[in-house]
Structure 1
Amino acid sequence: MAERTPDLYLLLDLGSSRLKWSLRDADGHERARGAEAGIATGVARMVQDVPRVPAGAWLARVGAPERSQRLREALATAWPGLEVREVAPQLVPAPDGTDAEGTFGPESGALRSAYADGQLGVDRYCALLAARARCPGRPVVLVDAGTAVTVDVLRADGVHAGGYILPGLYMARERMQRLLSDRVAPLAPGEGFDPWPVTDPGRNTTEALDRGWATAWAGGVAAVVTQARAAAHTAGPVACRLAGGDAAALRAYLDAPVTDDRGAVLDGLAVLAGLALPETGEGEDTDP
């Protein structure tokens, strides 16, 4: 059996499109990281980059439970005996008014939330835990521009007030393309909107669709973020943290500074594992 490393922990974010992972020590230092589209290729890369068996693994998974089983089987083949703890949201009902966190600090894993039981995805839950740990006592708006766009509101007292869900940049475009398939070709894998961003009227159906939807999508998300800031119910600054594959396309449309937070789910797993969070290397941007 491979030698086990007692002070290194594997964090696994099994998202809709990619398996992202981070190997960290108890002080929050990241020793290795990676992201792959497939589970098998992702685990193969981990084995190359991590020569010893981690002390344990923490997993956040979205989608069908069978995806967790496939990942566990691949990890068991690579590292027999590795314990994988899959996390689930731990929500505590929140009152309508403000409420001190009391015993529900970041390290407890419990999140006071107004969201319906069983409805909050584990990725959003982990990102909220990370934001609460990084911004204690401050209101935060979390934006994840991925397959879908989620915008969550964390009040200054650590209570999750709820959020918003919108179509992702490519989700609605794909639906419209099917309706216009005689004039608009589907985007090839990895192909982006071309050009981006352009707001001049399109001179063919593809341009008209791409420019119309891109402008509406970015403007709509920006409007929701503005509403989310207001929902934080504070007269002071509100931090905005931005993650997701389409974060770069969205950033220019937001009317206030934002902080890149692409490792939010992994950081939330670190909180649950009792690990320190790594330094971000940047200041916390807030509203002026």
Structure 2
Amino acid sequence: MNCYIDAGNSRIKGRLARRSEPFVVHWPDPAEPDAIGTLATRLEPLLVDDKGRSPRQFVLGSVVEPTRREWLETALAEICPEATRRWLSVPAKCCHVRVAYPEPARLGVDRFCAMIEARARIDTGPLAVIDAGTAVTLDVLDASGQHRGGLILPGLQAQIQGLRVTVPGLGDALAGLMTEGAPSDHSADVVPEATRRLGLAVDTTTALDLGRHWLLAAGINEMLAVWREALAEEGELIAVIAGGDAERLAALIDPSMDVRRE
């Protein structure tokens, strides 16, 4: 039995070959004195069933720094000592996708896998593949499967974390945005509807929240418009979007675009 793991910057997502539902585990806090033990404790009940069966092979993709990669490697070795662990790397071409990077291995494996999955699901026409995670990535594939390149933007939480560090005076206003959920609409009674429609706020927390959404909307929609026109002769550009903030980001994309949530 194989286990497929995507170790992202915020969470570890995985799926066992014999199960239909994926699992999600959060990374331990960097200050955790026994981060490997904590991670193993979180993973073990998801990997070993009540009959003692566990994966024989782990197939892993990750762009995290070496420290957390080592945590995961060690935790899996403790839980399943006889299982092999195969870390994916990015080749120049695979599964009808050809990488644009001069050095393909420098492309994030998460972006590469997202392009392969999108091309497998939609096998004709050009695609814009968007992963709305800690970082928001957008990669364009033409109809032939040639990767035209991509861009990386700070995600919704990354923007808030960045402001927390660089503009500490915003601390109180940022507090309501420091979780994955949406902020409380404490200003609902004082914000005119016309102002809401235009994307302006009358309190700092809401201004920050609107700003981070508009920043992503502007960047993503501008790039989609450019490539929609550039590849028009190959067919209608389809945007394929996934990731933890996919639903919120999809709502910001130009409604004239064909958007597929995955």
Q: Please give the TM-score of this superposition, normalised by the length of structure 1.
A: 0.72
Shift in CA distance, 48/120, structure 1 to aligned 2, threshold 3 Å: same
Bigger proportion of residues as helix? 2
Partner of residue 47, structure 2? 47
SS at match of 1:151: strand
1:23 is the counterpart of 2:12: no
Tell me how far apart the structure 2 counterparts of residues 200 and 15 of structure 1 sit (CA, whole Å): 31
Tell me how far apart the structure 2 counterparts of residues 144 and 62 of structure 1 sit (CA, whole Å): 14
Tell me how far apart the structure 2 counterparts of residues 91 and 215 of structure 1 sit (CA, whole Å): 35
Shift in CA distance, 105/205, structure 1 to aligned 2, threshold 3 Å: closer
Shift in CA distance, 112/214, structure 1 to aligned 2, threshold 3 Å: closer
Among residues 131, 143, 150, which one is paired with 1:163 in the alignment?
Answer: 150
Partner of residue 189, structure 1? 179
Tell me how far apart the structure 2 counterparts of residues 249 and 13 of structure 1 sit (CA, whole Å): 21
Shift in CA distance, 54/182, structure 1 to aligned 2, threshold 3 Å: closer
Q: Which runs of 5+ in 2 are unaligned?
A: 28-38, 189-194
Partner of residue 26, structure 2? 37
1:208-235 CA-to-partner distances (Å, cap 9, x unmatched) read: 2222332333233222222233344534
Cα deviation for residue 194 of structure 1 reads 4.0
Partner of residue 235, structure 2? 236
SS at match of 2:22: strand
Cα deviation for residue 31 of structure 1 reads 3.8
What root-mean-square deviation, in Å, do the aligned CA atoms of Structure 1 and Structure 2 show? 2.7
Partner of residue 220, structure 2? 221
Partner of residue 141, structure 2? 154
Cα deviation for residue 251 of structure 1 reads 1.3
Partner of residue 276, structure 1? none
Tell me how far apart the structure 1 counterparts of residues 210 and 95 of structure 2 sit (CA, whole Å): 45
Cα deviation for residue 112 of structure 1 reads 1.7
Tell me how far apart the structure 2 counterparts of residues 221 and 148 of structure 1 sit (CA, whole Å): 13
Once the two structures are superposed, the pairs formed by residues 28-107 of structure 1 within 5 Å of their partners are 30-38=19-27, 39-49=39-49, 51-92=52-93, 105-106=95-96
Tell me how far apart the structure 2 counterparts of residues 16 and 221 of structure 1 sit (CA, whole Å): 21
| Amino-acid identity (%) | 32
SS at match of 2:145: coil
- After TM superposition, where is structure 1 displaced by more than 6 Å over at least 4 residues in a row? none
Shift in CA distance, 42/223, structure 1 to aligned 2, threshold 3 Å: farther
Partner of residue 3, structure 2? 10
Partner of residue 139, structure 1? 126
1:61-118 CA-to-partner distances (Å, cap 9, x unmatched) read: 11212323221221122112101100111125xxxxxxxxxxx544xxxx42222314
Q: Please give the TM-score of this superposition, normalised by the length of structure 2.
A: 0.78
Cα deviation for residue 154 of structure 1 reads 1.0
Cα deviation for residue 131 of structure 1 reads 1.9
Shift in CA distance, 223/47, structure 1 to aligned 2, threshold 3 Å: same
1:93-150 CA-to-partner distances (Å, cap 9, x unmatched) read: xxxxxxxxxxx544xxxx4222231431010011112122222243211011111111
Shift in CA distance, 76/119, structure 1 to aligned 2, threshold 3 Å: closer
The amino acid that maps onto 1:55 is R
Q: How many residues align?
A: 235
